[in-house]
A and B are shown apart, each in its own frame.
Chain A
Amino acid sequence: MEQKTKIKAEDGKQDLMITREFDLPLELLFKAYAEAGIIEQWMGTKVLKLESKKRGSYQFETTDEKGNAVFEANGVIHELVPNQKIIRTFEMGNTPFGVQLEIYRFEKLSDDTSKLEMHVIYESTEQRDQVLKLPFAQGINMAHNRLQEIVSKLK
């Protein structure tokens, strides 16, 4: 299947741009980012906290069968304009990837289609490149859990 997601990451820069067009009305696309119950469904993570408003904050957590946290992410929301824009920080717990600034722009294309532009700014070029390389390294054969173990040991 063709990949609808476009990634722009220029050499030597500390940011990247992710864009995607959806077969969804703008309001539904925005809702997918603003409501905890919906985020849980598509991100596959628990939403411990989500205040979808200016100066709100959020926290996600995924646990394994034993209840150990294998993924934790949190951040604060700096700006939230319904159906237009979210600016927030994002930090993955227990990793060396630092804090990233995320600027989401939501745009209506037609009554049934919409576009998301996600601008992510990292603390440094090195950190951006590390995050970019993660899925590559997580590669084909390694069990997901094993990698979570490795990553959690990096702290």
Chain B
Amino acid sequence: MNLRRDVFQAIADPTRRAILLLVASQSMTAGAIAANFETARPTVSKHLQILTECELLQQEQNGREIYYHINAAKMKEVADFIAPFRKMWDDRFNKLESVMKKYKIK
């Protein structure tokens, strides 16, 4: 029986999130992706398989090479990417506010 992968389970793993980050910037081969990790190559292959099964990644044949690229539509389904982005800015602006409040007192 072919188990359907759960996308949320897929992105719960830090290595798989890091793979998504890498591939978000440009399509890459499995070898190029694996070169960024200390993890054994078969482990990275397994991660790629899971990400492909849950359709977060898509494979594309380009000559003899298979390139992995992000499936943007699926990524959108998965999570609100804006939430962590907003938190980053909120933290930054909170810092600005506290720095300037101290500045005012001086």
Give how many A-B residue pairs fall within 8 Å (CB-CB): 107
A139, B25: Cβ atoms under 8 Å? Answer: no
Cα A32 to Cα B100 in complex, Å, equals: 7
- Interfacial residues of chain A within 1-55, with CB under 8 A of chain B in the complex: 3-7, 9, 18, 20, 22-25, 28-29, 31-32, 38, 41-44
Which residues of chain B come closer than 8 Å to A137, judged between CB atoms?
17-18, 20-21, 24
The answer to the question of B42 belonging to the interface, with a C-beta cut-off of 8 Å to chain A, is no
B21, B36, B99: residue with the most chain A Cβ atoms closer than 10 Å: B21
Of the residues A22, A28, A141, contact of B103 by C-beta under 8 Å:
A28
A142 touching B100 in the complex, CB below 8 Å, given contacts A7-B86, A150-B36 = no
B: interface residue count bin: 20 to 34
Distance (whole angstroms) from the CB of B82 to the closest CB of chain A = 5
Which residues of chain A come closer than 8 Å to B18, judged between CB atoms?
137, 142, 146-147, 150
The answer to the question of B65 belonging to the interface, with a C-beta cut-off of 8 Å to chain A, is no
The answer to the question of A153 belonging to the interface, with a C-beta cut-off of 8 Å to chain B, is yes
25 pairs of residues in contact across A and B, judged by CB atoms under 8 Å:
A5-B86, A5-B93, A7-B86, A7-B89, A20-B93, A22-B97, A29-B100, A42-B95, A42-B99, A129-B81, A132-B81, A132-B85, A133-B21, A133-B75, A133-B81, A133-B85, A134-B21, A135-B88, A136-B17, A136-B83, A136-B84, A138-B84, A139-B14, A141-B14, A153-B36
